[in-house]
Amino acid sequence: MPTLWIALSAAVLALAAAAWLRARGRHDGNAGQGASVMAAPDAGSGDDVLPADDDEAPETPGDDDDLAPALDSAMPEPERVILQRLCAHTLAGMTAVPAAGSDGARAAAAAEAAAVQTLAGIRAHPRYTPRRPHLLPQLSRAINDPDADAHSIAAILGQDPALAGNLLRIANSAIYRRQGASVEHLERAVTMLGTEGLRQIVMAALLQPVISDDGSVFARCAALLWEHTLLSADIAMRPARGARRDDLHAAQLLALLYGLGSVMVVQVLRDCWSRNGGGGPDPEALVSLLDTWSVRCARAIAAEWGLSERVQQALAELAGDSQWEALGSLGRALRISRMQAADEMLDMAEPAPATA
């Protein structure tokens, strides 16, 4: 049975990749028209998925609508529009896209095809999938335990110096910094943030990806996407009427996983463009790849890490292009928090630096 399952999965992924390329070809030939809905693979549930926590039963679409942050309009803008806004800022000043039929255009097309092939089989490329943090179960229990105080959470963080360093960097970021003085020690972070403040940023520190700052457009894109992720996770954690503590932490975790998926996509694109000499990505190709594959990569991470059925169900709904009305409360909260985060970021953003 495992061999048959692997063979079937590989076939599905190959068909999905081919469908994606066909859809991109149709889109390129119909500039100005709306993009087609592109098929993408099911990331798989994974044989090693752990059962959901006892208090995290799978949700039904439409339940717990109070979990979503407040929204003035009936529904948020599509994810593709959010990505277009973010990528337009990241790619501002980039050199022109190569002319059709040129060597540069052919190299870019080869890089895009290679990226789609890699993303379609992302679980076969462990170098792109972040390892499950070994403190994840312990910290998850602590931040959902109303009796756990800041010092007990800090004691867990202290077991991993790199994690403690990530937490201090995030505590000093513009999103979370509440006072003028910088936070230089874990003990100071505990005192300044308190139990609730520490709960809010511990998962962000735990899931922080490694983004190498090589000055490329891919590095800028990954950094901007993760900044957007941190802000959307912060918005998801803001108190909502009727939401329980574990609701808010599940919404935060979903936002962080989605962001991890988008960073994975950018890392794949960087490597494929580097190997094929494609220069910078076509903005439309970048948006399409992120829109199609970020949530699939997030599903692969969630399955690999054995996260709760509730979180995996929300990702499945988002990966299945469910309409707004069919999304559960976690999916809705993610859509809204990502839109609000883009609004806040781009309102305050300075123009992106021009690329040589």
Instruction: Tell me, yes or no, whether 219 lies in a domain.
Output: yes
Domain hosting 100: range is: 49-130+215-356
Instruction: Tell me, yes or no, whether 24 lies in a domain.
Output: no
* Domains held by the chain: number: 2
Instruction: Tell me, yes or no, whether 37 lies in a domain.
Output: no
Residue 253 and residue 236: Cα distance in Å, rounded?
9
Vertex 64: Cα angle to 59 and 70 (nearest 5) = 135
- Which among 147, 181, 208 is the end of a domain? 208
pLDDT digits (tens, 9 = 90+) for 69-116: 554 445 788 999 999 999 888 777 555 565 566 777 788 888 889 999
Instruction: Tell me, yes or no, whether 2 lies in a domain.
Output: no
> How is residue 221 written in tokens?
């894109």
SS3 226: helix
0.85 surpassed by pTM:
no
Mean pLDDT on 33-41: 31
Residues 223, 274 share a domain: yes
Residues 144, 121 share a domain: no
Residue 41's pLDDT is what?
A: 37
CA neighbor of 292 nearest in space, from 83, 130, 30, 61: 83
pLDDT digits (tens, 9 = 90+) for 199-213: 778 888 888 888 877
Residues 118, 245 share a domain: yes
Instruction: Tell me, yes or no, whether 3 lies in a domain.
Output: no
Residue 28 and residue 249: Cα distance in Å, rounded?
40
Alpha carbon 293 to its chain's center: 10
Please check whether residue 36 is in contact with residue 288, taking contact to mean a CB–CB distance below 8 angstroms. Answer: no
DSSP 204-221: HHHTPPP----SSHHHHH
pLDDT digits (tens, 9 = 90+) for 294-336: 999 999 999 989 999 999 999 999 998 778 888 999 999 999 9
- Which among 208, 224, 257 is the end of a domain? 208
Residue 140 and residue 223: Cα distance in Å, rounded?
25
> How is residue 75 written in tokens?
């529904």
Vertex 214: Cα angle to 211 and 220 (nearest 5) = 65
Residues whose CB falls within 8 Å of the CB of residue 71, separated by 6 or more in sequence, listed in order: 336, 340
Please check whether residue 294 is in contact with residue 319, taking contact to mean a CB–CB distance below 8 angstroms. Answer: no
pLDDT digits (tens, 9 = 90+) for 47-73: 333 333 333 333 433 344 456 555 444
